[in-house]
Structure 1
Amino acid sequence: MRFGVVQFPGSCDERDALAACETVDGAEAVILWHRDADLKDVDAIVVPGGFSFGDYLRVGAIAQFSPVMAAVIAFANNGGPVVGICNGFQVLCETGLLPGALLPNERRRFICRQVDVEVCSTETPFTRACTAGDVLSIPSKHQTGRYYAPEALLEQMEADGQVVFRYANDSNPNGSLNDIAGVCNTARNVVGLMPHPEHAVDARTGSDDALALFASLAQGLTHV
């Protein structure tokens, strides 16, 4: 299996994302530079965290126009599995691949802490190896991570099972509506989440709870 990890100017978690992808048996991971529209025959794509283009204008707003994103959009629209983490989640919302938006945190402060995240849906390539109700301990670090969607859209997403992750055990760090930590598109092949699973794949760093999420991508390829 071959993972592609997108890198923008200002990305800062692409190396950890590469290492996390390579925890999957037999997997390799390659960098997809933002100016390059060649996806290098990857099977799954990770849009990692960081501060793409310095978060100028609006988080993720400039990155959506990078040549690589046109290729990512086509890949996703063809059913390819894509996951966006933190800034990557913001970018996917900006492109329209995911519904809703990420707003500044409720208290307008940068937050860096461990959070508990509940798996709400196992019908995505990123969660197939999990069980609904699993609670994962994952680091979270962001200043613009408060999930928002208009009421009608939010109700539709809840009804359609598009909420993939929620903050559990009163650990919502940013005021996200309905404690939403991650969502998917209607086709369920594109997932975004604010916490950083790539930092939770080694027990020596505090948690390896997210190993199942990366293993799920390999398993999910036969289902998407």
Structure 2
Amino acid sequence: MKFAVLVFPGTNGHLDMYHAVKDKLGEEVEFVQHDTKNLDEYEAILIPGGSSYGDYLRAGAIARQTPIMKEVARVAKEGKPILGIGNGFQILLEAGLLPGAMLQNKSLKFTCQTVQIVVHNNDTIFSRQYTNGEVIDLPIAHSVGNYYCDEKTLQELKNNNQIVFTYNGTNPNGSIENIAGITNKQGNVLGMMPHPERAVDKRLGSNDGLKLFKSIVQQWREANAVKA
């Protein structure tokens, strides 16, 4: 399986993402620059964290205007897995590939810590190796991670089982309903603020994030075995 890790000016989570895929999964992965106009050769698209374009205007607002995001929207419609983490989640929201918006943390401060996350829905491309209700440890590092949506959108998220991850216990940023990660209706686009790519080795505190990447690979292998 071949992964693309998108890189924008200001991206800083791309190396962690690359390491998780190449060294922990043993899958093929390449960095893809923001001005790239074709993603056909990749089976999954990863949008890492950081501060794309310095978070000017709003986090993700400039990155969503780049040529690569038009291509991301196209392959998302085709059903390819798209994962946005941290700033990647913010970019997906700005691009309209996920519903809702991201606000400043309720504390108005940058938050960097390991938090407990509940697997709210394990019936997705990204979470199938977890169990429903499983509590995992993942790090967060953001100042704009307060997920918000209106009541209608929230109800749709619940009705369609689009809420995949929630914060357990203490909510570190004020996100509505403790939401930490959601998918689109089709289920192939996931945005989340916690960083699974920084939790793939117990020597660094947790390897709970590894199952997320393994889930993507498992789904792809099973789908392609059927096609073959």
Same fold? TM cut 0.5: yes
Equivalent in the alignment of 1:121: 121
> What percent identity do the matched residue pairs reach?
44
1:98-138 per-residue CA deviation (whole Å, 9 max, x = no partner) reads: 11111000011000000001111122211111111111100
Q: TM-score of the superposition, structure 2-length normalised?
A: 0.95
Q: CA deviation at 1:223?
A: 5.1
- Whichever residue aligns with residue 121 of structure 2, its letter is S
Residues in 2 aligned to 1:114 and 1:26: alpha-carbon distance in whole angstroms: 26
Q: Report matched runs for 1:142-161 at 5 Å.
A: 142-161=142-161
Q: Report matched runs for 1:57-206 at 5 Å.
A: 57-168=57-168, 170-206=169-205
Equivalent in the alignment of 2:2: 2
Equivalent in the alignment of 2:20: 20
* Cα root mean square deviation, aligned: 1.3
Q: TM-score of the superposition, structure 1-length normalised?
A: 0.96
Paired residue secondary structure (1:22) = helix
1:32-90 per-residue CA deviation (whole Å, 9 max, x = no partner) reads: 10011132611101100000000001100000011111111101011000000000000
Residues in 1 aligned to 2:152 and 2:39: alpha-carbon distance in whole angstroms: 36
- Whichever residue aligns with residue 60 of structure 1, its letter is G
Which residues of structure 1 form unaligned runs of 5+? none
Q: CA deviation at 1:195?
A: 0.6
Does the 8 A contact of 1:24 with 1:214 survive in 2? Answer: no
Residues in 1 aligned to 2:82 and 2:2: alpha-carbon distance in whole angstroms: 13
Which residues of structure 2 form unaligned runs of 5+? none
Q: Does 14-23 or 187-196 show the bigger shift?
A: 14-23
Paired residue secondary structure (2:53) = helix
Equivalent in the alignment of 2:52: 52
Say which structure, 1 or 2, has more relative contact order (CA 8 Å, 6+ apart): 1
